[in-house]
């Protein structure tokens, strides 16, 4: 059973109107459980749109999107996935703990269970000391870690991330990438990650999906296969070869 199965999905915004936009054309993509997939491509290539199709925040114009072998809409209602956005999107009026508890509240968890799970998640993202803080008291990187904890709080089998580290500085970003990989390994969650950074895509994923714009299509998929990542990976010639491979694929797309 595939974690994600997309067949012939297209997306046209404002069909029939003067501002009609063909965002995605004929997307076919299958993601196996436990994979870390990165969607990369120039802006306007529809990578965020594709992510939102998987999340069933928008529906495809034609074709089908299945998550965990059921329609994406049903997967959303079943809360099969957690989502993180470019801005952490934490609620300022809630403490860190209460932010992580938000999805659990909506799912009707008891107060005790919520507290316990939030504490576990804070431990996972190494922010146990900040449970009672408010988001505005945290740095950008810490806010993103809370957002990841929130997305994973109800143990979804799938994590959807839309350029979550895009607004972070380079040092924090690399730190967060290592954190995310650690969490991915500890939880075994399937991850679909949108980025426009080539090194980030190569460092994180098992497979990089390169997309081309107007209308958005999948130009190529590149298996990475670098094994366990560490600080040394970033200086590894094999890492650079993959970066070059993805860059070449992106150049072709731009032509």
Residues that bind another protein (CB under 8 A): 52, 55, 57, 76-77, 79, 81-83, 85-87, 89, 91-94, 102-103, 105-107, 123, 126, 128-132, 134-139, 141-142, 145, 171-172, 175
Smallest distance from the beta carbon of 85 to another protein, in angstroms? 4
Strands 217-223, 36-40: pairing kind: unpaired
Smallest distance from the beta carbon of 70 to another protein, in angstroms? 14
Using the structure block, give the residue that is written with the tokens 């990475």: 224
Residue 242 C-alpha from the chain's centroid: 21
43 vs 93, beta carbon nearer another protein: 93
Smallest distance from the beta carbon of 68 to another protein, in angstroms? 15
28 vs 169, beta carbon nearer another protein: 169
Select from 194, 204, 206, 196 the least CA-distant residue to 247: 196
| Cβ atoms of 78 and 134 closer than 8 Å | no
145 vs 242, beta carbon nearer another protein: 145
Ranges of H-type helices in 12-124: 47-54, 72-77, 96-106, 111-124
86 vs 206, beta carbon nearer another protein: 86
Smallest distance from the beta carbon of 53 to another protein, in angstroms? 13
87 vs 206, beta carbon nearer another protein: 87
The total number of residues written for the chain in this structure? 255
CB-based burial label for 17 (10 Å; 0-12, 13-18, 19+) = exposed
| Cβ atoms of 211 and 217 closer than 8 Å | yes
CA 7/CA 27 separation, integer angstroms: 6
19 vs 93, beta carbon nearer another protein: 93
Smallest distance from the beta carbon of 134 to another protein, in angstroms? 5
CA 45/CA 214 separation, integer angstroms: 6
| Cβ atoms of 240 and 234 closer than 8 Å | no
Smallest distance from the beta carbon of 244 to another protein, in angstroms? 30
Smallest distance from the beta carbon of 55 to another protein, in angstroms? 6
Sequence-separated (6 or more) residues with CB below 8 Å from residue 244: none
143 vs 217, beta carbon nearer another protein: 143
């Amino acid at each position: 059973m595939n974690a994600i199965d997309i067949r012939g999905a297209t997306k046209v915004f404002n069909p029939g109107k003067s501002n009609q936009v063909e965002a995605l054309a004929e997307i076919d993509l299958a993601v196996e459980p436990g994979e870390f997939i990165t969607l990369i491509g120039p802006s306007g290539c529809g990578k965020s749109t594709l992510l939102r199709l998987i999340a069933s925040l928008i529906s495809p114009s034609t074709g089908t999107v299945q998550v965990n072998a059921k329609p994406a809409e049903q997967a959303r209602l079943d809360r099969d996935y957690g989502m993180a956005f470019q801005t952490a999107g934490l609620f300022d009026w809630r403490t860190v703990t209460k932010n992580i508890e938000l999805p659990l509240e909506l799912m009707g968890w008891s107060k005790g269970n919520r507290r316990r799970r939030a504490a576990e998640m804070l431990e996972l993202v190494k922010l146990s000391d900040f449970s009672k803080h408010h988001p505005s008291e945290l740095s950008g990187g810490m806010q993103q870690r809370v957002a990841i904890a929130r997305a994973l709080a109800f143990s979804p089998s799938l994590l959807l991330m839309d350029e979550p580290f895009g607004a972070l500085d380079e040092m924090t970003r690399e730190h967060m990438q290592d954190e995310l990989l650690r969490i991915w390994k500890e939880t075994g969650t399937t991850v679909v990650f949108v980025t426009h950074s080539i090194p980030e895509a190569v460092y994180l994923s098992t497979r990089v999906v390169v997309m081309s714009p107007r209308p958005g299509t999948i130009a190529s998929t590149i298996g990475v296969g670098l094994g366990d990542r560490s600080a040394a990976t970033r200086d590894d010639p094999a890492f650079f070869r993959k970066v070059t491979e993805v860059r070449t694929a992106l150049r072709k797309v731009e032509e």
